[in-house]
Structure 1
Amino acid sequence: MPKVKDEGLAGKGKDSIEWARAHMPVLSEIARRFLKERPLDGLRIAASMHVTKETAVLMLALRDGGARIFLSPSNPLSTQDDVAAALAEEGIEVYAWRGMSESEYFWAIEECLKADPDFTMDDGGDLTVMAHEKGYAERIAGGTEETTTGVLRLMALERDGKLRYPVIAVNNAETKRNFDNVYGTGQSTIDGILRATNIMIAGKWFVVAGYGYVGRGIANRARGMGAKVIVTEVDPIRALMAAMDGFIVMPMREAAKLGDIFVTATGNSGVIKAEHVSSMKDGAILANAGHFDVEVSVKDLELMSLAKRDLRENLREYLLPNGKRVYLLAEGRLVNLVAAEGHPSEVMDMSFANQALSIEYLVKERGKLPAKVIPVPRWIDSEVARIKLRSMGIEIDSLTKEQEEYLRSWRI
């Protein structure tokens, strides 16, 4: 049986889902086809995703395609309780509520795996890793992975020779990472910071740790709001890109002395540690936009601080031995999903369209794909872009036969 915080919130949740669906034309078109063709009939899908209104549109599209859905969260603090209640009322087996403990979080994931799924849909890798660690993977025919962190974890699983079924790296689709990661995270991270603090961005030193797709989006949105942006990196190519894009690049040990606002976006642990916090200004604000709460070392903050208190929702003050105060947002978890609502529906439209079409592809190719992390087929990526352009009223050119021949030939 589904387990949510308050079934009475279902009406409000349905309104939120309706609003999201109205801004997700690509996924809505796929859902209409799924309802007609039923390509997922009789299948069970276990999903670990942020339980938001956008995720709800995806889950309902999969249900309309004939699948039975078992949904757990991919973050203990990102669930929108009204949406969870609405999904439960719509027949989705959902185990999610905002503010889960760590044990409750992993309990919910295992409840979905106990349903004996045919396919998995993951965001961060916790579901897929548990499936492998606890012996659920042998029957599973395939899966998808939504985010950079999860793809990296599953590639490590593959390298160790332990991946038991094919997983499509949805995160790496061009219509996902070039839009969701860049524009979606950029906007929603700023949104989370503003909701938690209501501070002025303009004129402040804004430090972005990591200049991948996510960091690039955050840096550009912060600059657009008038911030003076510093980028820290460990990758020389990405550091060079940041410099060429006009950002100041320096090590975190130097940026720590200057920054007013810090956002981590690396997918790695210990990006901001005690040694950095000790040299920060009084009033520095720390936030994380990476998947797990390990980029800002909360453990270090807890150990080094003399006192702490919550001043606002998602805003915790730490008093340091030197008398200065620093402020941690959203407990060091994903600030855009904990302190705000995550990405806008319009950009999640493309990400989740890739998810739906990738699951359909896995069904059609069942038993034929290797147990590896595999890319989204190019035709899926292109189809998502074509539908999105059409929904925006944009028409593009097509290659002539002569141009196609020219591109295939080595002759001039």
Structure 2
Amino acid sequence: MEFHIKDPGLAEKGRLRIEWAAMDMPVLARIREEFARERPLSGIRIGACLHVTTETANLALTLKAGGASVALCASNPLSTQDDVAAALVAEGIPVFAIRGEDRETYYAHIKAVLDTRPHLTMDDGADLISTLHAERPEQAAEVLAGTEETTTGVIRLRAMARDGALRYPVIAVNDALTKHLFDNRYGTGQSTIDGILRATNRLLAGSIFVVAGYGWCGRGLALRARGMGARVIVTEVDPLKALEAVMDGFEVMPMEEAAERGDFFCTVTGDLAVIRKEHFLRMKDGAIVANSGHFNVELDLEGLREISERVRRIRDHVEEYTLKNGRRIYVLAEGRLVNLAAAEGHPSAVMDMSFANQALCCAWLVKHASELEKKVYPVPEEIDRRVAEMKLNAMGIRIDRLTPEQEKYLSSWEMGT
């Protein structure tokens, strides 16, 4: 397949939306100008499995400006923006993604990207790299290196490295400070609330909002829910994160207790079966349940079906499960990423930093991949700091610099009080 999208006729609408997003992505725009001059990716084929959004489109165009041949598929069946896919195809970038595609088509699209024989892989959730390793191990030897965008994918890749299964080095872009401190916290916080409100049009003020997981995404979501007037409960398995949530002013308790109290529930853990049958059975009539972790496994939907006597679609992105006890549970976006399935994903301003890291890491890997072992690496500190500096410059913000005396003091042990 040269490409597989819903409708090439949507290209003009997509082009305008990509342009709108670009207005709030000044760091990536500067990198694109630099790439166009220096062409650091000339001759490099990049296979990307990412959410096909306006922000991703600007990343793909930046990589193309750097000389790369880019092929793109979706990292989630419900996150594709079909007009954006059409616009990228019109720009000569093969895209294999259709919003709402079934599982078979989803993996056929991943294999179509692998058919382009990429030198670099770019993942959001590690489905591309896991498919490559499981089904085409001989092809993995052709890959120089890869990058991974999200927490779930990094967890999977570290497990592969630990088991000796990883066949090439991968940079965990998710772990860059300019990614997870901003994208995960402010991006997930805002976009998840946006998705829940678009799907339900319910009032958050005065409600009880249960956040499962207090990593950076959970912190952002709890913060934004409280900002909308909700009373927030946090559930955790990590005592340090639970303690932090308490110190941040949130109630903390097991999901078993929270299930009886919550009006809204949202999982952001990266693990499976966080909300299970026993929790659904305790929920009040009308409880709204969503997920903003990468995969829909965070909600035990099979278990929910087992205890339900009827399931119906009551409005866009809302499925009503009527339990055998008569109570109704409302699941948003089929349990998939609610911020992308029911809304548009993270704001462009935070994806600007995330995708700046992606682009610069690709150029860095072209130069240094041969020096690396087959394991997961952090984003080089110089890239992380450069992205932060570029973002501050774009915002018109200046900061202090250390004086020579201060630098000497910080690097010495002789000087005391």
TM-score (norm 1): 0.99
Are 2:277 and 2:307, in contact at CA under 8 Å, matched by a contact in 1? yes
Letter in 1 for 2:105: E
Deviation at 1:137, TM superposition (A): 1.0
Q: Deviations over 1:50-83 (max 9, x none)?
A: 0000000000000000000010000001000000
1:315 to 318, 323, 327: 318
2:144 to 136, 141, 144: 141
Q: 1:8-407 maps to which residues of 2 (within 5 A)?
A: 8-134=9-135, 135=137, 136-407=139-410
Q: Deviations over 1:373-401 (max 9, x none)?
A: 00000010000000100111100001111
Mapped partners of 1:366, 1:300: distance in 2:
44
Mapped partners of 1:300, 1:333: distance in 2:
16
Mapped partners of 2:222, 2:179: distance in 1:
19
Mapped partners of 1:88, 1:115: distance in 2:
15
Mapped partners of 1:74, 1:263: distance in 2:
20
Letter in 1 for 2:90: E
Are 2:199 and 2:332, in contact at CA under 8 Å, matched by a contact in 1? yes
Are 2:169 and 2:369, in contact at CA under 8 Å, matched by a contact in 1? no
Are 2:97 and 2:109, in contact at CA under 8 Å, matched by a contact in 1? yes
SS at match of 2:122: strand
Sequence identity percentage: 61
Deviation at 1:366, TM superposition (A): 3.0
**Mean alpha-carbon deviation: is it higher for 364-373 or for 338-347?**
364-373
Letter in 2 for 1:98: R
User: How many residues were matched structurally?
Assistant: 412
SS at match of 1:266: coil
Deviation at 1:362, TM superposition (A): 0.1
Deviation at 1:130, TM superposition (A): 1.1
Mapped partners of 1:343, 1:171: distance in 2:
14
Letter in 1 for 2:399: I
Deviation at 1:158, TM superposition (A): 0.2
SS at match of 1:208: strand
Mapped partners of 2:391, 2:132: distance in 1:
34
Mapped partners of 2:165, 2:181: distance in 1:
30
Deviation at 1:288, TM superposition (A): 0.1
Mapped partners of 1:324, 1:130: distance in 2:
40
Letter in 1 for 2:266: V
Mapped partners of 1:411, 1:235: distance in 2:
40
Q: Deviations over 1:181-210 (max 9, x none)?
A: 000000000000000000000000000000
Mapped partners of 2:218, 2:369: distance in 1:
36
Mapped partners of 1:393, 1:216: distance in 2:
27
Mapped partners of 1:215, 1:353: distance in 2:
24
TM-score (norm 2): 0.98
**Mean alpha-carbon deviation: is it higher for 195-204 or for 304-313?**
304-313
Mapped partners of 1:378, 1:399: distance in 2:
18
Deviation at 1:364, TM superposition (A): 1.1
Q: Deviations over 1:283-321 (max 9, x none)?
A: 000000100001111111111110011111100101011
Instruction: Flag structure 1 segments of 5+ consecutive residues without an equivalent.
Output: none
SS at match of 1:311: strand
